[in-house]
Structure formats: C-alpha cells, structure tokens
Structure 1
C-alpha cells in the first residue's frame, strides 16, 4: 500500500529544462538541472516560500527568473568585485552578471532519502565543462536537503595548482505578501553599501523596511536573519554558515518594467535576501582547498 508520509521524487521536463519535483510530508520542491537551480519551495498548506516569476522562461542557456540561482565565480558586475576576483577572468571586458554557472547543466550526483528527508546533490567540474574566460580547474557542488526546512550548501574546491579568488551567492527570491509591509530583522547595526547612491557606505538602524527600490550589500552579517511577514503570519528565518555578507534587493516599479521574465506588477510579491561571500568576504582557495557556504530556510509562525 502507498504510504503518503514517504517522500517521492519525479523527473519531468518543464519546456526545455529537465527538472525534479520532490514531495515530502512537509513540502514540495522543484529543482532544475540547469544551474542546479531551486525553482520553487512551498510547505504544505502555506503560501510559497521561494518566489518564482509568473513569466519565467524555461529555456536552455538562459537563467530562470526566481528561485535560487547560483552566482559563481563572481557576483553581480565583475568590475565591482575585488581586484583578485576580477583577475581570475581572462576573457576580455564583457562578462555576464553573476558569473558563468547559472546557465550550465550540472551533473546530478544522486538523490537519497533518509526517513522523511530527501537529499539531492549536483556538481559542476570546470575541467569537464570549461567556463569561457575563466580557465581554471574547480569543482562546484550544491547539496539540497528538504525536510522540515530547506537547506542549501554550496561547496567550492580548487582543483588547480594555483590559488583561486571567488565571490558567490545563493540568489534567493522569497515570496512575501507585500514588500511594503514586511520587515527584515537581524541586520540592525550592520554596515552596508548603498549601491543606488554611488556605493556609499552606511549603517543600518533597526529593521529594514521598504519604501522604494532597494539594492544593498550588507557587511559583517550575523548568522541569523529573518523576513517578518505579518499579513501571512509567518517568519522566514535564514540561518547561514560561512557567509558574512548578504544582498537585499527589490526592483520596485521602474526597474521591474525593465527586467526580463518579470511582470511589471510582480515586485510587491518578492524580496531577495542573498546568502553571499562578496566584497571583502570573498573566498580565496589554496590549491586543493574546499570551502562551503550554507543557508537553512525555515517558515515559522509569527
């Protein structure tokens, strides 16, 4: 007899992308092989926790808007990264934002279940899949664990014979009732770079509230942050390891109309808090060295 408490995993194609849909007693998860990208995460009986654009385009060689894209081996505009990260690129001045791995097919290493939990692991080896303009040997893995919460661990291993400098992020899009009504706690007192005002260095006073376009890089961040969403009576709690920087982003009205795969009226329903290693928090790996960055995402009653 079928036991509904046991997890199930289904492989499917969403337009051009191979994906896996995972059901557990707690939640449903959708992951694409391209980019090892979590596309959606929704606990049963709740609103989605991870936001996915209603205009998302599931095409090969194109990142999907929403979910949790992996940004690696640099974050954002390469020219805004530390000099040592910029120096790893040898392919000329024109580089895609957020690195080179979001649009690559990763290898599925395995799917395992342990009681009610499901564990998926993906890998990308730059020796087998060379990255244009980045002629270095590295092994990248993304471990995904779904149980009562969602845990993502990004591992970077330098398999070359010279040091590597990287910046990276798990570019998490969170679903919210209305970004104008939510707050982010945990970053009070942190310094941040206000990228919309000439990259000025400022300090956060109390919780973050949202009244316009927001694009900030928070520095020396704590291990716990949360989105307080009173309309949906929940707290999206983020517990991070080996990350001391975070990016908080919402496009608001004008930029939303310029974004690809993004409805002009979708901005109130999403908010990005990106677990990161950027700016002075970038990663420098010795030959043979591996570093991991983890975020645990929990939806808790408020």
Structure 2
C-alpha cells in the first residue's frame, strides 16, 4: 500500500531495462530510460489508457512494443520523408524506421514532485552524444507530467549554426475495448494520406471508424481530438500544441501476424494516434531556437 496523498517513484529493472514506476493519487505510470519511453499509464479504477503489448520484450537496443515511443529526427521510413529531412542524413544505413533515439538510453535530468503531481525530465544531446550518420548538434528533451492526466512535452533546441529539418512523433498506443467498436472524433474534413492506397490524398468524412488495417497520415489537424469507446464508457481526450499532423494506425489481422512482440489478436485492443510533425508539417528549427510539441492525455466518462 502507498500513501495516496503523496506521489511515489520507484526505480526498478525489468529484464535488461532500467525503469521507473510512478504512483500518484490519480494514476500509475511505468516508463523506461531507454528511449525515455512511457510503457503504460492507468488511472486508478479504470482500464489502461496507454497500451503495452503482453508480449513486449525488455532488451537493450530493441524498442519495446507499445507505450509511447519517441520518433526523432525522422518518422517512419526515412525515404518517405520530405527531401529537406533526407538531406540531414549523411551516408550509412537509413534504418531504423522512426529515427535514432528509441533504442538508446536517455539522460535523466530530474524527478520532481509538484504537490500531488510528479515531473520527470530526460534528454539526449547530440553534440555530446552524436547520432550515427546524423552529425547535427541538437538538444532533445522529454518532460513528463503525471497529474490528473498525462502530459508529454517534446522539445528540440537547435544548438548548431545551420537550420535543422526534422520530423517527429509521440507514437502513442492507446488501449481500447474493441477497435471495431470505437471511433475517433475531431478529424472530420481533415486531409489525409492513405498510405495503404499508393499514398493517395483524401479528405476525412465524419468520425473515423475501423473495419480493416488502417495507416493514415492526417494533416491540418486541430488541437483536440478524442477516442470514443462506448463499451468502456470512456472518452480519451487528446489536446495538442505545436503539431498539426497525426498518424492513425491499427495493423488488423494479417499484419499482426508479422509484427514482433505482438500477439496475433492484439490488434483488437489497441489504437495508435501519433501526435506528430510529419510530411507537410515537417519542422525546420533555426539556429539557437527551440520548438515544443505538447500532448495532454486525459480520460473521462461518456
């Protein structure tokens, strides 16, 4: 048992990874130093909000399936990124997908209590810790505030003397009762790229419902959207700053069979909505400037 009036932070090892478990009066969160990745988040008395695979592996140098991986300084396949981002890469392998920081340990800057809340901050400084084939000085920080909801702030400071072009995402996996029964509200009339149909450009009509594999890049997105889950009588609210693009993804049946750390039926209970700066929404940061992208996650009854 723990004192509900005070937050607690416990450091532990899960197989090969250093992790932190955080309790507050409102919720519990688990995260790992590798990739500064939130693994799970669950308000007390509720179903999980952030989904973690039941087959997740906790190995050094390998991304964990689920949670909120940080994708940076590119998203997805580098070859599908805008030319300005591809030019930042200087020779060598163009893998892995989703950039170069998911599989390395970040530096813990601090853990602070703010009344009933807890804030954790991590950083990667590429001036002191160069990334392979990406020789650009930048300071990347992730600040996580666990209070009545979950807030993530991803900031990039260009510490070099030339503009920095990147794409990025907070690759959030959300837990749902059944993907076939939930909807995403808030993206009506947004343009999107249908990556499963030759990257055609289309426009969303109404809420998003799911009846098959889904992999779409939404552009000109609003500052708020939500997952409507009637079976769990829940709305997961997403409020964002510094982002006007998002990726909506579910692998469905066939692709699930090919994914690592992923049960064949796991597609039914998860949905990715990735707060991002991708494609037309790429990020160019001038020397000395800092950009922040903020995601606030909260859950409430319908």
Range into which the TM-score falls when normalised by the shorter chain? over 0.9
TM-score w.r.t. the length of structure 2 is 0.99
* Equivalent position of 1:298 in the other structure: 298
- Residue 205 (structure 1) shift: 0.3
Q: Does 2:65 align with 1:94?
A: no
Alignment of 1:1-302 (within 5 A): 3-92=3-92, 94-302=94-302
- Residue 130 (structure 1) shift: 1.1
Question: 1:181-239: per-residue Cα shift (whole Å, max 9, x none)?
Answer: 00000000000000000000000000000000000000000000000000000000000
- Residue 93 (structure 1) shift: 5.2
- Report if the CA contact (8 A) 2:78-2:94 is conserved: no
Question: 1:82-139: per-residue Cα shift (whole Å, max 9, x none)?
Answer: 1000000012353210000000100000000111110000000012221111011000
Q: Secondary structure at the match of 1:255?
A: helix
Q: Secondary structure at the match of 2:240?
A: strand
Paired residues in the alignment total: 301
- Report if the CA contact (8 A) 1:91-1:132 is conserved: no
Q: How far apart in 2 are the matches of 1:59 and 1:14?
A: 9
Q: Secondary structure at the match of 2:177?
A: coil
CA RMSD of aligned residues (A): 0.8
**Contiguous gaps of at least 5 residues in structure 1:** none
Q: Secondary structure at the match of 1:267?
A: helix
Q: Secondary structure at the match of 1:263?
A: coil
- Residue 50 (structure 1) shift: 0.2
TM-score w.r.t. the length of structure 1 is 0.99
Q: How far apart in 1 are the matches of 2:115 and 2:121?
A: 17
Q: How far apart in 1 are the matches of 2:17 and 2:127?
A: 23
- Structure 1 ranges of 4+ moved more than 6 A: none
- Residue 3 (structure 1) shift: 3.6
